[in-house]
Amino acid sequence: MINSRGTVNKYQKCHGSPPAVAGHGHAKAGIGNDRIHYMEKQNQHLHEVAITAIIVKEGKYLITRRSQEKKRFPGMWTVPGGKMETSDYLQLLRHGTEYWYNVLERTLRREVKEEVGIDIDNIEYVTSLATVHTDGSPSLVISCMADYAGGEVALNPEESDQHAWVALGEAKSYQLIDGIYDELTMVENKRNGKRSEWQRFE
């Protein structure tokens, strides 16, 4: 997933390194104007696409700590997920003449299984976010919720080194990647019949 919030830079090969940026991912510092101007000159349709799962089991949520070897957010807590790959659909029969459906759901099930070893079901959309990482890669992340469906947690050590099932109130005691707590709150609210777009929650 990758973890959700992770590519050989297409832009540096052709255009050189982009300007430095104050922050990345959900970083509160935001994306600098130089980087925004740089990206405006690039192909606006090229994004890495990632999808993440807030997995619910008996009212608690699975969070994982990213490996210390990860280039992005090492040692910080997040939720499972990863990047969509063309292999997630190219070898499958199309639904109709032109399209493959359920591609993100297939990607998410694969990534969760590879990263934490469990099965999920009932995948639902929660929110989306975009960023430009410090290596110049524009990224679109689609956040979903899903029910735990079976299996025991078995971490891929290249991705994560710890995990925990936490209630919403317990999540604040972990060093979460910025924005994850707010996504957890959205899922908690959605499970209680209250739906909203992403926002800051206290």
Name the residue ranges covered by the structural domains of the chain.
Answer: 10-191
CB of 167 within 8 A of CB of 70? no
Instruction: Give backbone dihedrals phi and psi of 51, rounded to 5 degrees, phi first.
Output: -140, 140
DSSP 87: G
Neighbours of 87 (CB within 10 A): 10
Average pLDDT, the chain: 84
The single-letter code of the amino acid at 129 is: L
Q: Can you give the pTM of this predicted structure? A: 0.78
| Res. 2: pLDDT tops 60 | no
Using a pLDDT cut of 90, give the percent of the chain over it. Answer: 63
CATH of the structural domain 10-191, one choice from 3.50.50.60, 1.10.10.10, 3.40.190.10, 3.90.79.10: 3.90.79.10
pLDDT of residue 12: 41
pLDDT by residue (tens digit) across 78-122?
Answer: 999 999 888 888 888 888 888 999 999 999 999 999 999 999 999
Dump pLDDT digits (tens) for 14-33: 444 444 333 333 443 455 66
- The arithmetic mean of pLDDT across residues 136-155, rounded, is 95
